[in-house]
Structure 1
Amino acid sequence: MNQHTKAPFQDILYEKRDGIATVTINRPQTYNSITQFTAEEMIAALRDAAEDDEIGVIVLTGAGEKAFCSGGNMQAIAERTSSHKRNHLRVMAQLALMLRTAAKPTIAAVNGYAIGLGHELHVMCDITIAADHAKFGQTGPKMGSVPVWGATTLLHRVVGEKKAREILFFCRQYTAQQALEMGLVNHVVPMSELRATTEEWCQELLDKSPQSLRIAKLAFNQESDQSLWAGMFAGAELLSMHIDSDEFIEGPTAWLDKRKANFRAFRKRKVREG
């Protein structure tokens, strides 16, 4: 791919220009939700950006003005088996590997909802610039799942343990200003200024020594990523065993049925017959 070529992808847009590689999740009809196919396309784009010596900064964003990424696709989640989940999480581990080892700064330009997996995606990036209407939050226990891809291992390093547990357990949504105050994002701007501001931050990074940035990023991630991989794969195995249960299925099924999930039913004492 040359410096100005847009690659032919289906679920994403990928463009390289003047030292900046931009990956845009292009599924606005589903609030830029991510399927396994979407993740595989993102991996290919990120690998290309990582291996291109002329690229100095990688930007992740979403199409439109409603969502950066709304998380996993609920229809796909509802249909997964334990085996499917293990395979999906292996692909997501490759996506994390690309983001964490690209050795180039990654900037999440959050143009709307960053929820669930989408929230983990921006947490994995080095820098987050948010539009002022953006919303942030996890959905795991609300949907019968757990954000083992990155939130359980990285979020507390960003906002502290108490706040991270609040975000993970209660599944609340936070405004861009609240996210800024807790250190979850670096900068907040009006949506109309998001693209230009992201460009300014990219240009500032391109003025810096590329090898110094490479060393700084990899050294910074060295300790956190040791626990990231261990926690991710342990969590993935536990979550995969849970995914075939009635309790897990209640979450995505309720969402698709447009009703509130009833998890209280799973707290009833089980009495062994016979």
Structure 2
Amino acid sequence: MEFQDIIYEKYDGRAKIIINRVQKLNAFSNLTLQEMIKALTDAWVDKNVGVIIITGAGDRAFSVGGDQSIRAKGGYESEETDSLDFPLDNLPLPNNHALVLQLIRTIPKPVIASVNGYAIGGGHVLHVVCDMSIAASTAKFGQAGPRVGSFDAGYGSAYLARVVGEKKAREIWYLCEQYSAEDALQMGLVNRVVPPDKLNEVVEEICASLLEKSPTALAALKASFNAETESIWGIHNMAGIALNLYYDTEEALEGKNAFMEKRKPDFAKYRK
């Protein structure tokens, strides 16, 4: 199984997905997400896999979300993906992102986010929906949508509020500030914070512990934990429709252009 944007490894009961776009701080494109969907699906059906790890290549970023350099009016550009076995190349990027999130939630195996650096925007949402998040002490967390002309009105906001509380979730989205790993630990956004050189070791220890547990019990518990927030999937789908429409506006494009031009966006003219 060959990939371009991710590294996919399976060993000792683990499946490991590494977002491998270091030069882009592991920002994802449609191809990245499509490859993640294929890897997650493979991990789901492989009976030798009991736990999944998601992380980013290098030591600077877990993922900083959608690659703004390929975003234009109307959304993100699509890549040709003839190497994949299913036709997802015509789906908008938010739809592919939504599929990744839903796979992480519904795969009946624990999914661990190994957060090795920046987890921003869609990358932040990615770790939020994982069953556990283990962070390097150098990791940074936050949202950027309202600053760059984007938003996640599904799991990224509604489920985040369940994790950190509604007041804090609103702060995270409205102010678009960045938070340290210790901040994230205090608000319940991550499970543990460890030195960067110990991150892989600790994640492997947690995986070893999980693999000693009953897989049926873990699957049932995961389904139970998800049950209360299952309605968010419907909200997320509606939010995706709204986001795809929003990307076709001048207001959204102003946020993206300002980000690429390293200037403050001028959203004042869109307050009607």
- TM-score scaled by length of structure 1: 0.91
The 3-state SS of whatever aligns with 1:60 is strand
Q: Deviations over 1:161-194 (max 9, x none)?
A: 1001110111110000000000000000011000
The residue that corresponds to 1:152 in the other structure is 157
Q: Is the 8 A contact 1:86 1:240 kept in 2?
A: no
Could you tell me how far apart the structure 2 residues matched to 1:79 and 1:37 are?
19
Identical aligned pairs, as a percentage? Answer: 46
Q: Which amino acid aligns with 2:45?
A: E
Contact 1:92 1:149 in 2 (8 A): no
CA offsets 1:102-156 (integer angstroms, 9 cap, x no match) = 1100000000000000000000100000000000000111112112352122100
Shift of 1:239: 1.8
Alignment of 1:247-258 (within 5 A): 247-258=251-262
SS of alignment partner, residue 18 of structure 2: strand
| Alignment RMSD | 1.7
Counterparts of 1:11 and 1:71, CA distance in 2: 14
**Counterpart-to-counterpart distance in 1, 2:21 and 2:254:** 25
Q: Distance in 1 between matches of 2:52 and 2:130?
A: 9
Are 1:52 and 2:57 an aligned pair? no
Matched, 1:262 2:266: yes
**What secondary structure is seen at the aligned counterpart in 1 of 2:145?**
coil
1:145 and 1:196 mapped to 2: Cα distance?
A: 36
Q: Tell me the amino acid that sits aligned with residue 157 of structure 2.
A: T
Q: Tell me which residue corresponds to 2:57.
A: 63
Q: Secondary structure at the match of 2:112?
A: strand
Query: CA offsets per residue over residues 72-101 of structure 1, 9 Å max, x none?
Result: 000222354499897322222221221111
1:46 is displaced (CA, Å) by 0.5
Report whether the alignment pairs 1:194 with 2:186: no
Q: 2:26 aligns with which of 22, 28, 32?
A: 32
Equivalent-residue separation in structure 2 for 1:156 and 1:100 (angstroms): 16
Alignment-derived partner of residue 272 in structure 1:
none
Alignment length, in residue pairs?
Answer: 261
Taking the TM superposition and a 5 Å limit, the aligned residue runs for 1:1-274 are 7-81=1-75, 87-226=92-231, 228-267=232-271
Q: 1:82 to 1:242 in 2, by over 3 A?
A: farther
Larger C-alpha radius of gyration, 1 or 2?
Answer: 1
* CA distance in 1: counterparts of 2:76 and 2:203, whole angstroms: 39
Query: Counterparts of 1:56 and 1:185 in 2: how far apart (Å)?
Result: 21
Structure 1 gap ranges (5+): 1-6, 270-274
